[in-house]
Amino acid sequence: MKIVVLDGYTENPGDISWKALEDLGEVKIYDRTSYVDAPIIAERIGDAEVVVINKTPISKATIDKCPNIKTIAVLATGYNVVDYEYAKSKGITVQNVPVYGTDNVSQYAISLLMEVCSHIGHHSDSVHKGEWQNNADWCYWHYPMIEVSGKTAGIIGLGRIGYNTARILNAMNVKVLAFDTFQSEPGKQVAEYVELDELLKRSDFIFLHCPLFPATENIINKNNIAKMKDGVILINNSRGQLVVEQDLYEALESGKVAAAALDVVSTEPIKADNPLLKAKNCIITPHISWATKEARERIMNTTAENIKSVIDGNPINVVNK
């Protein structure tokens, strides 16, 4: 079994092992493959039967040039970079890793909120620059400090990650509202299900934990922002396309949205002309909510199990059945 990994560096920059894949066949690993150079993608796949990717696109044209492909294994949950319907028509399975980072992503969402409310990184940098030792007062702060306890948080999308974030917020004495088309009994134990407009109206903090579907794309837009509380805080470490970035920029500049903390943007890596790079009170990190070593090891192990299931003739975690 020939296995090619097209963009392995993000999954494994050198701190974990590829052995789980190497035990399954002949493995060729590329740290990076151009996302826009389709001929290079096809050339590197060659006669491989298993293609392992993270964000390298696999198009119809690439599939046609690589007739040996049996499965495309995605080192992530999202698989929109693959023409999975065309792959299905060619008898190629597309597999993902559906669950690996629930705790990590929830932890990161709360960390983003706490950074907005407490400005820990900023004040640590200030101390290291000498401002405290030269200060006339025994303490100082550059931004208002916000107490989280007693506030109301709205979570759009109460799946695994949203549910876990709600549990953490409950422990912090935060009232949690949730908007989701599917309501569960466990969800009712940690949040009050409401309609979207009510969530927008009542929430001090809004977390985006929903998948990217036509119904959720651009859900944070000018009209919905207008329904929010003045001074609301937005947290998004789900998908960048949930937000109309120009609308959020304008809301941050006007103060309607007091702050935003984002781990995702609409085009990644971020483009230099993204308006949020110039917005007031906007924290942006490079899509790393998922990236703990523990989570990446789970991705590796699940991907190996996915590939082995294809070899055994009983594929699992197939997204294009």
- Active site amino acids: 239, 268, 287
Residues 161 and 263 in one domain: yes
Look at residue 316 and tell me if it is in a domain: no
Residues 167 and 187 in one domain: yes
Look at residue 317 and tell me if it is in a domain: no
Residues 10 and 132 in one domain: no
Question: What is the rounded distance in angstroms from the CA atom of residue 1 to the CA atom of residue 49?
Answer: 6
Buried b (16+ CB within 10 A) or exposed e, 230-246: eebbbbbbbbbbbbbbe
Task: Give the DSSP per-residue string, 258-277.
Answer: EEEEES--SSSSPPTT-GGG
Residues 166 and 251 in one domain: yes
Residues 134 and 223 in one domain: yes
Residues 90 and 110 in one domain: no
Residues 298 and 253 in one domain: no
Residues 36 and 48 in one domain: yes
Residues 131 and 226 in one domain: yes
| Structural domain for 16, as ranges | 2-100+293-311
Beta pairing, strands 152-156 & 2-5: unpaired
What's the number of CA atoms in the CB half-sphere (13 Å) around residue 50? 27
Q: What is the pLDDT of residue 304?
A: 98
Q: Would you say the pTM of this structure is higher than 0.75?
A: yes
Residues 92 and 118 in one domain: no
Question: What is the rounded distance in angstroms from the CA atom of residue 24 to the CA atom of residue 264?
Answer: 34
Total number of domains in the chain: 2
Find, among 117, 98, 116, the residue nearest to 161 by Cα.
98
Token pair belonging to 271: 């483009």
Token pair belonging to 184: 């569960």
Residues 213 and 73 in one domain: no
Residues 166 and 280 in one domain: yes
Kindly state the DSSP code that residue 28 receives in the 8-state scheme: E
Q: What is the pLDDT of residue 38?
A: 86
List the CATH number of the domain containing 117: 3.40.50.720
Look at residue 321 and tell me if it is in a domain: no
Question: What is the rounded distance in angstroms from the CA atom of residue 66 to the CA atom of residue 64?
Answer: 6
Give CA angle at 269 (263, 270), nearest 5°: 75
Q: Which SS3 state, helix, strand or coil, does residue 240 take?
A: helix
Look at residue 43 and tell me if it is in a domain: yes
Look at residue 247 and tell me if it is in a domain: yes
Look at residue 160 and tell me if it is in a domain: yes
Look at residue 148 and tell me if it is in a domain: yes
Look at residue 319 and tell me if it is in a domain: no
Find, among 79, 120, 71, the residue nearest to 97 by Cα.
79
Give CA angle at 140 (138, 143), nearest 5°: 170
pLDDT < 70 positions in the chain = none
